[in-house]
Amino acid sequence: MSKGRRGSSNKSGSGDNNQGNKRKRFQNMGRKRPMRSKKDRAITLVFEDNDMIVAVKPSGLLSVPIPNMRSANLLEALNEELSFNNEKAITVHRIDRYTSGLVVFAKNSVAHKDLVRQFLSHTPRRTYLSLVRGVIAVDEGELIHYLKKVTQGFRNVVVPHDDPEGTMARLTFKVIERHAETTLVQINLDTGLKNQIRVQFATYGHPLVGDRHYAPAEIKEELIDRQALHSWKLELEHPRNGKTMTFEANIPTDLRRVIDHYKKL
């Protein structure tokens, strides 16, 4: 992302930008992991205008800084580049460190207010792709649980619906492919709690492949060194003109490799 550039790229072509469609990459400042290609370790901008940025975060890179912890993160990487134009990115939402895919940032306070409003009201359509352990029998379904944050292990746990500290988590899913030992699913988030997809599918009996945090047995998985989860597609309203914008992030090499492996069994 060089000084003075404005570009856009989205799958539906719904972005208004007179300077053409451009994809831009700059170096991922995060920890390099051998299972990911150089391309997968790069930050890609799929859309940028005066109001917002949509970036593809590589797995292993934090979305935003963690207090009292000095680790590379997407927000600071974007701001380092934007500073050349006296601009800055403002956090709207985040995804887990070892989840790859689409993340949205605002570039001014007006856009930030509108984008946060959309995410708090759960109006953006957020679609994830995941490979889960086991064969899901139904073609589609809905998962509703109540989650509570616990300090031990920095995770969410499922609690009874009447637990005063519990917050409702809801998602829907559709099966894309069934393999001998795994299922490829498309997941749509209605709520956006910490680790929600990972917790809910583990509770459902189909933990995410590679997710050692919520399924310790996944330490045996050698084909991927993270949870097999990708923030794949996103649909939201542009914060200035209200126009529907749709974006898609390519499936990274490490996730595609593990999907292809289990598909052949």
Q: Tell me whether residue 16 is one of the annotated catalytic residues.
A: no
| Pairing verdict, β 155-159 and 43-48 | unpaired
- Among the listed residues 16, 40, 49, 96, the single catalytic one is 96
What dihedral do alpha carbons 135, 231, 238, 11 form, nearest 10°? -80
| DSSP code per residue over 186-250 | EEEESS--TTHHHHHHHHTT-PBTT-TTT-GGGGG--S-SS--EEEEEEEEE-TTT--EEEEE-P
**SS3 of 137, please?**
coil
Residues 6+ apart with CB under 8 A from 54: 10, 45, 46, 47, 48, 102, 103, 104, 105, 234, 247
d(C-alpha 156, C-alpha 193), whole Å:
9
State the chain's maximal CA–CA distance in angstroms.
53
d(C-alpha 34, C-alpha 239), whole Å:
38
Q: Which residues are catalytic?
A: 96
